[in-house]
Amino acid sequence: MRISPLAVQALLYALVPLKIHSQTHEDECTHGKLYVTDNQSALIHVFDVSEGKLQDLTEETTMMLPSVGAGQLVYYGPPGDPLIVQYRGQEGLGYQDGFVRVINTGFSHDSHGDHGHVEYTDPSIVSNAIIDECARPIHQVRNDDKIAIFCDGSFSTDPQVNTTVHVLDETMLGSSGSAIVHSRVLQGTHHGVAIPVDDNHLLHSVALKDRVDRVPGTSSLPSTFQVVDYDGNILHELSDTSNPDTHCSGFHGSASVENTFVLACDDVHGGIVVVEYDPQGGGYTSRAITYPPDEKYDSFRIGSFAYHKNSHYIVGSYTVSGGTEFHLAAFSPSSTSIGESNILTLPSDSRQCAYQFEVGTGEHLLVLLPNGVLHVFEIADGSFTQVAKKEIVPNMSACSEATFTAGIGQAFVATPGTRSMYAIGLTHVEEGEIDVFESTLPFTPTAMTVSGFSYDAACTLEHDHAHAESSGVKTSHVFALLVIAGSVFF
């Protein structure tokens, strides 16, 4: 059920004064900083969007990374801090010129009892987390204060370049000794993922046997998953193919929320596998969430996820390879199946260019379509409700014309063809309004992300409201009250 925005606003104004007196000091919040790569240098361009000002974005500083060959620097995975930058490497070199760098964004949030201050120092490359010769880094996963970097390797090179996984311990970044706490060469080469589960526990994909044996034409997608310790002992296997709860074929797409790991399997498997880790007992269990059985979804599968630690729902891109129908599917990791009410069919046969949760609160899913229109959804009871939409890029007709990233109460679309940056303010999205500020970049943008924040210090849409009312109250609590009040009154 939708709560009327006006009613929400009225309640917000009514409730905020009740809390003003409970907190006298301002708790500073940040929108983070925007990091943009360009198409002809190894520079990262940094824009300060931390205070919420989106008009006339101007470059604050740049950072030089190791030079890159053909291709560009990329980011992958949901926004986070520290910033991870990857270069995939050149195919002709077996991708062995690929590398990963960790960037200290200079962000800190100092707590002084009843209030906190956000501060930034200059960004720098973290010197004890240098990863070179990482052949084709694509998927990186953060969990348990660690980041696993998956270097796919190279199949066609002779000899092949095996898949390699590196685990970075975030708590050791910048300290003496290496922050790379584990590196592991896997059998063969494949397009998979590794997830840090716990100290000394790593969940990772396993290549198909034919792939390991280098049978030409074998799929690069994994056969299944296993959990190993850093000595290589297998702690848990997902190898029982007689049961969808205990294996995952053709994996592509993972999500991780604390000790729950979500793996998207192919249509042959028929669903998602959720792996749960029990940190007390050290054991693992797994179970399937099935795709809809309806014939019209024959051969459809999920191939990627959007997720946020605050969202009860994970969203997957649900489609069929080569098809013209595109869906998003929302599901709770505790469910057992995905049904019709969980599925959003995207308009006019258009595949989403990007879909991400707003980073600060995870309450809104942002979806950019090939026509340049941004749609904003809320997900309640596993169903999508559109709260706002707006054309961001005029005359856009293909995803290749734009790059997108979600920020904290903000989002950004950049178009290489026109060197335009569209900075999107979401402060009033609950009232159906989206603000767009266009500026011109002095370079051709290729990829971007938001970093330099912590979830504790991230501005919320509600905070901005309260800010305007000069209360400084952390109104996320107030908003929680509103939702309850809303469902009672409307």
Ligand X SMILES: *[C@@H]1O[C@H](CO)[C@@H](O)[C@H](O)[C@H]1NC(C)=O
Q: Which is nearer to ligand X, 123 or 137 (CB)?
A: 137
Give how far Cα 7 sits from Cα of 246, 484, 486, Å: 47, 13, 8
Options 17-25, 134-142, 180-188, 345-353: segment touching ligand X (CB under 6 A): 180-188
Q: How far is the CB of 185 from ligand X (least distance, A)?
A: 4
Q: How far is the CB of 316 from ligand X (least distance, A)?
A: 31
Q: How far apart are CA 244 and CA 287, in angstroms?
A: 7
Q: How far is the CB of 218 from ligand X (least distance, A)?
A: 11
Q: How far apart are CA 318 and CA 305, in angstroms?
A: 9
Contacting ligand X within 62-91 (CB under 6 A): none
3-state SS, residue 84:
strand
Q: How far is the CB of 394 from ligand X (least distance, A)?
A: 4
Q: How far apart are CA 348 and CA 326, in angstroms?
A: 9
Q: How far is the CB of 205 from ligand X (least distance, A)?
A: 14
User: Site map for ligand X, 460-489, x if CB under 6 A?
Assistant: ------------------------------
- Helices 5-20 and 461-468, axial angle in degrees (round to 10): 60
Options 184-192, 304-312, 331-339, 359-367: segment touching ligand X (CB under 6 A): 184-192
Give the residue, chosen from 18, 185, 215, 480, that forms a contact with ligand X under the rule CB under 6 A. 185
By DSSP bridging, strand 403-406 and strand 271-278 are unpaired
Q: Which is nearer to ligand X, 22 or 395 (CB)?
A: 395
Q: How far apart are CA 159 and CA 320, in angstroms?
A: 34
Give the residue, chosen from 82, 188, 192, 333, that forms a contact with ligand X under the rule CB under 6 A. 188
User: Site map for ligand X, 32-61, x if CB under 6 A?
Assistant: -------xx---------------------
Q: How far apart are CA 302 and CA 270, in angstroms?
A: 10
Q: Are 111 and 119 in contact (CB under 8 A)?
A: no
Count the site residues for ligand X by CB under 6 A: 11
- Per rule CB under 6 A, is residue 212 in the interface with ligand X? yes
CB within 8 Å of 422: residues ≥ 6 apart: 392, 393, 412, 413, 414, 415, 436, 437, 438
Polymer length of the chain: 490
By DSSP bridging, strand 326-331 and strand 201-206 are unpaired
Q: Which is nearer to ligand X, 343 or 393 (CB)?
A: 393
Give the residue, chosen from 183, 226, 371, 444, that forms a contact with ligand X under the rule CB under 6 A. 444
Give the residue, chosen from 58, 280, 324, 395, that forms a contact with ligand X under the rule CB under 6 A. 395
- Helices 476-489 and 5-20, axial angle in degrees (round to 10): 130
Contact residues: ligand X, CB under 6 A? 39-40, 162, 185, 187-188, 212, 394-395, 416, 444
